[in-house]
Amino acid sequence: MSRPKKERVVYQPPLHADFKPLGIQRQKLESLPLGLDEFEAIRLADYLGLEHSEAAAEMEISRSTFTRLIEKARRKIAKFLVEGKHLHIEGGNIHFRGNLIRCHDCGHMFNIGFDLDIGSCPTCGSGNLIDLAGGFGHGNCCRGHGHQGRR
């Protein structure tokens, strides 16, 4: 029997979670899931340029686990680019350090901790808010993971 996967820590939910080639309907494309932990590995190593050991510490996993994770994510992104699949970011055994809220009315986006409840947009006062972490099924479970985030 294999060991249960350790929870990985992701800084915040992604701004965009679905990608596809232009001009092709999504229903006609094969779907390719990218886990939130794989997304975070790409963000840390390729976007922020962290060394594997630094990125692994940020995600609270071992360096060797991080290396396997980033290689898996890069293979999926290469497949998406070369074969033209529908890439979508989804779940995984993760917790977010922080959350992003988007106002549906004015488009303003702001970072928020899970310990704060906000009922209206600080820019326009609208209550029509989109909880990006909530879209991935997270929120209350992520409380307590926000204090260590650095990036």
- pTM, full prediction: 0.84
Mean pLDDT, residues 4-20? 87
Q: How far apart are CA 54 and CA 68, in angstroms?
A: 15
**CATH code, 77:** 1.10.10.10
What is the predicted pLDDT for the residue at 100?
A: 87
pLDDT at 70 over 90: yes
Total structural domains in the chain? 2
Whether residue 77 sits in one domain with residue 100:
no
pLDDT tens readout for residues 30-63 = 999 999 999 999 999 999 999 999 999 999 999 9
Whether residue 91 sits in one domain with residue 45:
yes
What's the mean per-residue pLDDT of the chain?
87
Residue listed under structure tokens 């050991």: 53
Whether residue 88 sits in one domain with residue 102:
no
**CATH code, 102:** 2.20.28.10
Whether residue 78 sits in one domain with residue 48:
yes
pLDDT tens readout for residues 87-119 = 999 988 888 888 888 999 998 888 887 777 788
Answer yes or no: is 3 within a domain.
no
Domain that holds residue 91: 9-95
Whether residue 29 sits in one domain with residue 81:
yes
